[in-house]
Chain A
Amino acid sequence: GAVVSQHPSRVICKSGTSVKIECRSLDFQATTMFWYRQFPKQSLMLMATSNEGSKATYEQGVEKDKFLINHASLTLSTLTVTSAHPEDSSFYICSAKTWDRGNTEAFFGQGTRLTVV
């Protein structure tokens, strides 16, 4: 399967600071990327969908000014958690897919563990 890489895998930041998480498709062009959030022992919750070159579409209840998403190229999307607080601590996972592959699976990154202290 295709490879999606997330960086960093773990990050600890101070409350009030911002953190950027990168999601890269390594061997295919990702026209669409998705960002998920996962709390311990819970499922993945879709936060937003980003299409290359356009604004992200956020799920209901997700603050777009809090979670800034940029999908400037076909291989890179970034999620910036702004003014992070301890309640933002979570496991963030991206996935990517391309229309070239039709309606097929989304490939997932390995996730980023964010801890806000």
Chain B
Amino acid sequence: GESVGLHLPTLSVQEGDNSIINCAYSNSASDYFIWYKQESGKGPQFIIDIRSNMDKRQGQRVTVLLNKTVKHLSLQIAATQPGDSAVYFCAGSYGTGNQFYFGTGTSLTVIP
């Protein structure tokens, strides 16, 4: 299966600063990635996705960058807010099975 891992398990940022969460993957066949946000005791919430034919995608306050050469993607959150505090997972998918394999997760804490 896929192996998707994160560089840092925890990240603390000041409110208003930008956050960058990183993720590495091992399967070069992965062609679709999603960033999810998970709050305590809840299921994952979709944040943003990116396909392998793109290297950047922007949403509201979030940007995902994909570097297929080094098999790395990142999630950038602009002007981080206390409500952004959660665990963030990247998930990768490939082939027709479309299963998503999740990375370790990064716990983001926003300091007011």
A interface with B by C-beta (< 8 Å): 1, 4, 6, 32, 34, 36, 42-46, 49, 57, 59-60, 91, 93, 95, 97, 103-111, 113
Contacts and interface: CB of A to CB of B under 8 A. Distances in A.
Contacts of A97: 98
Chain B's interface: helix, strand, loop or mixed, by majority? loop
Contacts of A109: 43
Given A34-B99, A93-B43, A111-B42, A44 B34 contact: no
A34 B74 CA distance: 25
Contacts of B36: 108
Interface of B: 1, 31-32, 34, 36, 41-46, 49, 51, 89, 93, 97-105
Q: Is the interface of A mostly helix, strand, loop or mixed?
A: strand
18 contacts: A42-B104, A42-B105, A43-B104, A44-B102, A45-B102, A46-B1, A46-B100, A49-B99, A91-B41, A95-B43, A95-B44, A97-B98, A104-B49, A105-B46, A106-B34, A108-B36, A110-B43, A113-B41
